Structure 1
């Protein structure tokens, strides 16, 4: 079996896969929603008490047995043979979803090579002899939403299909070509590509860490990050659930990818140290990215608030010029009214305007509070992502910063996709001899097959199907797989036996605490999360944000009943191999 050229390539592969875009967006979002310090304490405890043991378990399984997901569980416990097939299927679906996000990043990156970037301002449209802002974009805040929907050409509902979108189809073709090209020569090409794909995002993140605190309003965003709140017992339970899910998903557990990378390492490698290193890099990346996100969000909120105030001033001037009858009633000089500063116009109202007139004018303007803009970040990671891209267009040299950011995001997405592809290809090579003899042909065939499957998301309603899988389905299978893997190792195979074998291979003792963590704490936490997750999903509104072309705004719509039924059928099909093999070995 081939090995990594050196351990640096192996660590880069594991870091590139597990430290992905989720650390950039989900960590700050959970931070702001859950009181900052409380969330951080919960996260560190879960990371080292749950994350590290499970990381060690997956790394050691692949490193010891040198098998992909289809073989490792059959050798661990025949009862869990079907677990490998289910893992393979979930990994395949995750690959389709993940590379779709990379496709969108590539689309935006291609549009960033313009000055100014297209989403910096609303486009102009010509109506007969007049030129004005596109009314659809003018009604959309932020304007990035307009370009976001325009690029994806999203339909009004999930039922509205249509022909494939040419730009998305071409971008999907390019992204799958890049993915296959990186992996075409196996570990040789993958290892060399990882030096660039993994290290480049950290270099760009360092540039943002230096630049972002110097932006106007960045201090407001950073102060908002440092605001801590007290949490109740009910809030603590919610934080426990969110942190637990985040730790498991951000580390990339459950899909057999970590084990697949480890199969190409020497069996005597100290994978326990590697697991700790992975956890520290994961934590460090999140702590570096968080102040960058908050600083840029503070800058974005400041610019949006200023634009709102300027818009209010324009409305007031228009109102005062063209509403002559009302202007004549105001006992103050016109010159003063026409040169009102945004922060002072309310004081002028209080001093000089009667109550009726004040109400009439105030009804024409909107609130322009930076705090309100910052609070919008709580809407979710998608909003923060789009707001961040829009904020790049406000910085001098906007095209340069937009390219840097999207290049960083695309690099992180590609490294994660390399891991997912490795989790698909390694089991096939271990199972079929033809695949081992013709690895390049296998990679090409898998890439073409996955590209053809991903074309389903290139239709106008494809974005809503992506949200359906990403928001309501993918997390539960991964969590359930992690739980079954932990039970298979800790109880079916035996944690004592497992750790004893690893002690022999690594040549040094392993603390008995890991037996307790793998046998007791990890299964308990995983079972609680597995029980709570379906309830949590069930009590949520089964809705998606659709694009209403008549108003150019996002509106909540309820998923049709067939969407919910299709998720149930999908889940049954994916987990069917586990049931089949379990019944087979029970009978025999």
Structure 2
């Protein structure tokens, strides 16, 4: 019995790959079951009771007739199920060594540098706790359902993004190509973020740290005599970032040769990525234990250290203080949705590629929920760390500001500019952050009005915003806080090792989204997978050199802040509509029940059908309106004042965004038009509403019915009716 089924698998797999997705037939399976079951009995005409069954019972009978689940067939399937392996994966396809490696790959890809780079910044400038509430709301309604969809498709069809959508809904097969192209472009500039982290890591093996003080000018022997005047007007950490690491220009339109130290760092970065991928899942899986687990061990140590800093409580209170008006702000919802999909990684096809190497009966819903919750947990924890450290820096800066104000007041009182009532008592200089605000607040109103124009605003909240300004907080603020740690060299190595490992795990996921579709689409690449990996890494490393030129960081901001979300929303909308309204959300929901062998809440069906596509469409329209009505800006370095300034991108910036977006989403209409004109007639009316097939092709049909038996024969009807 077992041998017959196994011998039919190659023919059915070949037929599956060559035919259009009509999955109602499974001739080999029917022939097999016919030899072991009793001859089919003629069905009696429907009785009155059958005709009066409620709609739910009719649906159950329809499903039972679809799968042929009569008593004799169930007995036959039970016998087959005992003899056959539980997970009938494609023997020619590699797989993860264990479930731990698979989960590490999913979590490592999902939790990237943007979690450290962007989430805390958005949290501060978009309502603090309100931003987190909106993020959790959108994660539950859209993030998790779409994640379940991508993981389920990958593990069931054992294909990358291109192959999955070719088999799922050929009309939307261009989605896979678009995901591939977006992955390629994002991989180009994301590797540069990892190269920056790697360069900081190398520079950390020095004492004192190079960003702890301003550099000397030529022929200067002591600090302060001939220090760089540009650095003296700003923080040494900010100067090190812009002028030493990036060697940036004052405008995006100014060119220049790439910095040699960044070129070397970028080459080493791509060498590390290539080594981790060159042996396929064997090397990638083992590397994940280092690139995913090590950062979190380091992160816990750094988090504990940050919570012990002076002023950390103020930073955390600022995080937890939810601003109610932010809940009603369309702009906050736009930024939250934009960050959600960029940070989660949905739509890139990487989740599909990673899950294509896992057994088909894997619990994809539990995995998707775990990945989403871990992403949220790490995002919030990273934000707590950043706010704690920024609270410390804000406290230090506030105290310095109060000291400067006190000195200025004393000088002005001595010069007779200010009244003698503003003369400061000696006790005021002991705890400036507490005594100065109380003393100044107790002064008479006319005296405060006279002194106010001469004083700086030293409020902690304002100082916190200044510290947190700009997405470069991952590098500028981290280096600033590390510089004041005891044993700063050790902590610098720890922190930037964490950033490098986090970037590596994300790049491994992005590369899987590129390499896996190529292996599945072109048979010749499967015979030379190592050569393919080396070739892809080499070509992408050459392309990424564009982003290490002096103005390269401005292009990174342009793509990451404005471009990446545009094709991503188009891809997610088409994926969602394709699955829910062309393939059928109800049908997909039934398929998941068969995969898992247990009932699934019908809430997912409504989320896929209505909530997710509607929310995605609204967010996409809001983003387009925002780009059209408002200028696109970036933080640039102004060497004349030694500070960051907000500048607008040139007019060609929006044109570049439109061109890249059009190119990456172009495969979607092109593939649909090609199938319409050359391969497939239009679908029959009602096919989208009343599908009678599932996406379990060929030999998979047998596995579906065997897996369905996990609900136990006789209980399928009750379980199905409960969650129909």
- Distance, in Å, in 2 between the alignment partners of 1:117 and 1:152 is 17
Provide, for residues 159-214 of structure 1, a one-character-per-residue CA deviation record: whole Å limited to 9, x for no partner: 21122210111111010011001111110010011011111111112112221121
Distance in 2 separating the partners of 1:7 and 1:191: 10
For the structure 1 residues 158 and 272, does the alpha-carbon distance in structure 2 shift closer, same or farther, using more than 3 Å as the test?
A: same
Shift of 1:132: 4.4
Is 1:136 the counterpart of 2:226? The answer is no
Structure 2 match to 1:103: 195
Q: Does 1:87 align with 2:168?
A: no
Q: 1:171 aligns with which of 262, 265, 269?
A: 265
Aligned runs of 1:179-258 on 2, under 5 Å? 179-231=273-325, 234-235=328-329, 237-258=330-351
**1:548 alignment partner in structure 2:** 638
Asked if 2 retains the 8 angstrom alpha-carbon contact of 1:300 and 1:388, the reply is: no
Where does structure 1 lack aligned partners over 5 or more consecutive residues? Answer: none
Counterpart residue number, 1:567: 657
Q: Distance in 1 between matches of 2:545 and 2:122?
A: 32
Shift of 1:585: 2.2
Give the drift of 1:348: 10
Q: For 1:575 and 1:510, locate their aligned partners in 2 and report how far apart those are by CA, in whole Å.
A: 33
Distance 1:312 1:127 in 2: 36
The residue aligned with 1:300 is 393
Aligned counterpart, 2:246: 152
Q: Which stretch has the larger CA shift, 103-112 or 366-375?
A: 366-375
Partner of 2:147: 55
Residues 1:425 and 1:231: Cα distance change in structure 2 (over 3 Å):
same
Query: d(CA) in 2 for partners of 1:68 and 1:19?
Result: 21
Whether the aligned pair in 2 keeps the contact of 1:36 and 1:228 (CA below 8 Å) is yes
> Would the alpha carbon gap of residues 296 and 336 (structure 1) be closer, same or farther in structure 2, given more than 3 Å must change?
closer
Cα distance, 1:355 vs structure 2: 7.9
Q: Is the 8 A contact 2:468 2:477 kept in 1?
A: no
> How many Å separate the matches in 2 of 1:9 and 1:157?
44
Structure 1 residue corresponding to 2:542, chosen from 447, 452, 477: 452
In the other structure, the counterpart of 1:469 is 559
Cα gap change, 1:401/1:313 in structure 2, threshold over 3 Å: closer, same or farther? farther
Instruction: Say whether the 8 Å CA contact 2:198–2:500 is kept in structure 1.
Output: yes
Larger RCO: Structure 1 or Structure 2 (Cα < 8 Å, ≥ 6 residues apart)?
A: 1
Q: Does 1:267 align with 2:360?
A: yes
Look up the SS of the partner of 2:676 in the other structure.
helix
Shift of 1:309: 4.4
After TM superposition, the score normalised by the length of structure 2 is 0.74
**Hey, what's the Cα distance between the residues in 1 that align with 2:381 and 2:298?**
12
What's the offset of the Cα at 1:549? 2.2
Assess if the C-alpha contact under 8 Å between 1:55 and 1:253 holds in 2: yes
Q: CA deviation at 1:35?
A: 3.5
The partner residue of 2:108 within 13, 16, 30 is 16
Aligned-pair Cα RMSD in Å: 3.1
Secondary structure of the residue aligned to 1:131 is coil
How far apart, in 1, do the equivalents of 2:165 and 2:441 lie?
Answer: 74
TM-score of the two chains, using structure 1 as the length reference: 0.90
Give the counterpart of 1:420 among 503, 510, 523: 510
Equivalent residue for 2:460, pick from 370, 376, 391: 370
Give the Å deviation of 1:255.
0.5
Q: Which residue of 2 aligns with 1:78?
A: 170
Q: Deviations over 1:319-349 (max 9, x none)?
A: 69xx99x4899989x9989996667789699
Distance 1:473 1:331, change over 3 A: closer
Instruction: Indicate how the Cα distance of structure 1 residues 576 and 345 shifts in structure 2: closer, same or farther if over 3 A, else same.
Output: closer
Q: CA deviation at 1:47?
A: 1.6
Tell me, yes or no, if the aligned pair for 1:29 and 1:377 is still in contact at 8 Å: no
CA distance 1:384–1:307, shift in 2 (3 Å): farther
In structure 2, runs of 5+ residues without a counterpart are 1-92, 679-724
TM-aligned CA deviation for residue 39 of structure 1: 3.1
Give yes or no for the alignment of 1:161 onto 2:161.
no
Structure 2 Cα separation of the partners of residues 552 and 146 of structure 1: 8
- Distance of 2:219 and 2:355 partners within structure 1: 62
* Distance (whole Å) between structure 2 residues aligned to residue 518 and residue 345 of structure 1: 57
Determine helix, strand or coil for the equivalent of 2:310: coil
Alpha-carbon deviations, 1:3-26, whole Å to 9, x = none? 100000000000000022233343
Partner of 1:282: 375
Moved more, 37-46 or 397-406: 37-46
